[in-house]
Chain A
């Protein structure tokens, strides 16, 4: 490959020699250090071979000596290309400028991808990188990947692992976040109770730390203590000898009732698409944007959809050039009077969405009882949803004086 490139750079000639002394001619060439290759014999008095352009002028004395005739069959290489494009200097200049621009662009970062984030937003990471002087157009050499990985781990508590690497002109920030724990976080020296977050009936309680104050089947109200962080140590007489404090930890499931309410008007204003669509194409280079004019007049009401792409050569050579088009979709507002069946279907859709949201938050639905009735020009949907969910939330434990200390104080006073 390197030899081929060298040959292309220096210029190669394919020549044909004819005459009686062709072998002698070749031997003379070789002895004087001329390199020839791809020697093909047509007959005893005719050969073709390849040679470097620079050796051509050294052949003259050998041609005369051996009475061999030489004819150039093919020319290849940069010297011939330069000769060919001598008259097109601007073209050659543009080619060199383009090559230079590509070389410069390849040393910069033109795309930043954040991978593996779920709690930390991409904009937060990008803002952080900007504070570290790493943004679009930063030189790749100035980015210390190891240092950036370390600073990401140090500055974000949620990040437990980070990997920063470049692929072409793309900077990839791969992070791994901590898995969020359902258990209450350690509060240090502060002792915590678990209290009811809402009115409920206890379904089950599994206590790991603390003294349970409720049992399955108990009715509790919001704020009631479910598991106390304060535990009483009794003496032989059954009196409190000492209080022992340790933050409560338990899984408390309660049966709760959600009130559901929804209003759907009989007449609805709906945005309907007319099917008329037009595209407006644009291109962005750095801070400059070029936009082609629209072909048709603006719609009165429309919805837009922007599809933007970054120019990428091969797999990962991204360039600071964006292109795309904005799609304008015409809309019109129409008044629709819903029938009862249509209202039912819409109400069911809203209810299912509501239940889905509840289930996503860890609520198990037991039962649902929803009614629909027409109130004037609206439909009223209401009902109750029975569910089971974790109702424990941490709250500060009330610290009481130790009984022994209280007795000492009493005895002091009596004395």
Chain B
């Protein structure tokens, strides 16, 4: 049987771990509330933006705009949205699993992959495998603004416009609820009505007070739009902005998912630490009782011997 001292040490260390995870749980809970609110209120905006984007791209499909035009050859750019820090359950591993599947799918990625990483976890993963990283940003604050994502948007639109990549995919985590997040991969560029409409459908939460299916119903494909000012200058301004909102939206979703996943993971860790602590305590008591019994045994047998 392990010594009393050792068990005592173990109990102490478990209790300390429990304190740490509990503190992290509390911190994550606050962050989670904030970023969920942020994400959910931006959803209506993002949904409208992506819907407009879908409509516009169905119209310009004939216009051969470089962001809409399909290209047969060339590499694929993948934007990998992950968190900067770990301890968030299966959040990042789910995203990276999708990335891995994409790498393994030779039909989809013929021509090679260029990686753009948002968040350190994804960057580590890509670098460890020695893949080509075009750009990376990390340490993004929770109050990220739309403008900050410009960097990424400009890069992917420039890559596509310059014909350097065939398409641009984005892998991120879609926030469903505190207990449910889903890693998804979407095609951003070339813009197409079908792919974008899928994103619009994905933005609808499955339940909760923001779950109104209203918006998706009215999305009939419009044959043609009048554009003001002229088509060319409008597209130059509007397309990048709408793509930016799309990228920004994925980041917000990821933030909300990250904090929710971490909160839940830390809660589980705290509960488990409590359980382990209790078992150790029981073991400690048993061990102490055993020592006392042994001591009493020795004393009484000593007494017997002296008679």
Real complex partners, A and B?
A: no
Task: List residues of chain A with CB under 8 Å of any chain B CB.
Answer: none
Task: List residues of chain B with CB under 8 Å of any chain A CB.
Answer: none
